[in-house]
Amino acid sequence: MRIRYHGGMNECLQPVTAFPPVEAALVEPNGLLVQGGNLSMELLLDAYRHGIFPWFNPGEPILWWSPDPRMVLIPGDIRVTRSLAKRMRNGGFELRVDTAFVEVMRACGAPRDDAGGTWISAEMVAAYSRLFDAGYAHSVETWRDGVLAGGLYGVAIGRMFYGESMFSREADASKIALVRLAQQLQRWGFGLIDCQMETTHLFSMGARTLPRAAFIARLTELVNLPHRPGPWTFDAPD
């Protein structure tokens, strides 16, 4: 594997078998650490274990990121408004887990009104499908009358969950998926949901930012706890 390190005037090509320290990531753009490599299952798992994730435009070299600060959600801190709680009880939604992983990824990658394109390419779908088949990637799905209304997908290692993307075709459908995920992860002893980048939407649901050093320290503890392989089944809601 050949990876291009981003090191300013000292940038060079080096053959490597692991990622550089996350402290080497650029300040601008925030968190850009390294370019190149591939989306093999081994490299993706190595990246997540070290607080690194891929994010790049289709057809361009793979870019790997570790931003500072890092947005996270502690499962027990999920914020549920009265209106959302009512919607969860009476909205007619059904929650499923790990039954439509590829469909969720493709829905997350569909063009949106507020975005000009998608980073969830066919290459990404194939790579994360391999993680799903190996029990590391998961989808949480909100259904209505047999139709997928919203959901999210991510990666779990040990007692750490890395949220990748979410989508809604109906109001609150993705929020319901996130709330149920957080509630179940709390029951299972998961310590963090990695939200990657800061958004006001996630702030409103209880997420916070951590300095990268604090995030990496906590992540290192969590990824070394016993792993819960998929496919997952959630407990009945309270």
Average pLDDT, the chain: 91
Range 155-179 average pLDDT: 97
The answer to whether the CB of 111 falls within 8 A of the CB of 117 is yes
Q: Are residues 108 and 50 in the same domain?
A: no
Q: Supply the pLDDT for residue 11.
A: 38
* Last residue of one domain, picked from the residues 48, 67, 86: 67
Which strand (E) or helix (H) includes residue 73?
A: strand 70-73
Query: What is the percentage of the chain residues whose pLDDT exceeds 90?
Result: 85
Supply 48's token pair.
Answer: 């997540």
Q: How many structural domains does the chain have?
A: 2
Same domain, 60 and 165: no
Q: 95 and 32 in one domain?
A: no
Q: Residue 114 has what pLDDT?
A: 53
What contacts 36, CB < 8 A, 6 or more positions away?
1, 2, 3, 4, 61, 62
Q: pLDDT at position 215, please?
A: 98
Same domain, 98 and 55: no
CATH assignment at residue 21: 3.30.70.3550
| Backbone conformation region of residue 86, classed left if phi is above 0, alpha if psi is from -120 to 50, else beta | alpha
pTM of the model: 0.90
**Structure confidence at residue 236 (pLDDT):** 86
Share above pLDDT 70 across residues of the chain, in percent, rounded to a whole number: 89
Q: How confident is the model at residue 116 (pLDDT cuts 50, 70, 90)?
A: very low
Q: Inter-axis angle of helices 101-108 and 122-133, to 10 degrees?
A: 150
Q: Based on the domain organization, do 44 and 150 belong to the same domain?
A: no
pLDDT of residue 119: 79
Whether residues 210 and 94 share a domain: the answer is yes
- Shared domain for 61 and 94, answered yes or no, is no
pLDDT beyond 60 at 7: no
pLDDT digits (tens, 9 = 90+) for 197-210: 888 989 999 999 99
Residue where one domain finishes, among candidates 67, 92, 115: 67
Mean pLDDT of 129-148: 98
φ and ψ of 149, to 5 deg: -100, -20
Average pLDDT over residues 4-30: 65
Of 72, 46, 42, the C-alpha closest to 185 is 72
Verify cis geometry, omega within 30 degrees of 0, for the bond prior to 226: no
The reported pLDDT for the residue numbered 141 is 98
pLDDT tier, 237 (very low <50, low <70, confident <90, very high otherwise): confident
Q: Does 49 have pLDDT greater than 50?
A: yes
Nearest 5°: CA angle at 176, between 172 and 182?
140
| Residue-number span of the structural domain to which 26 is assigned | 2-67
Q: The domain that contains 83 carries what CATH number?
A: 3.40.630.70
pLDDT band at 44 (very low <50, low <70, confident <90, very high): very high
Distance, CA of 36 to CA of 63 (rounded, Å): 6
What pLDDT score does 2 carry?
Answer: 40
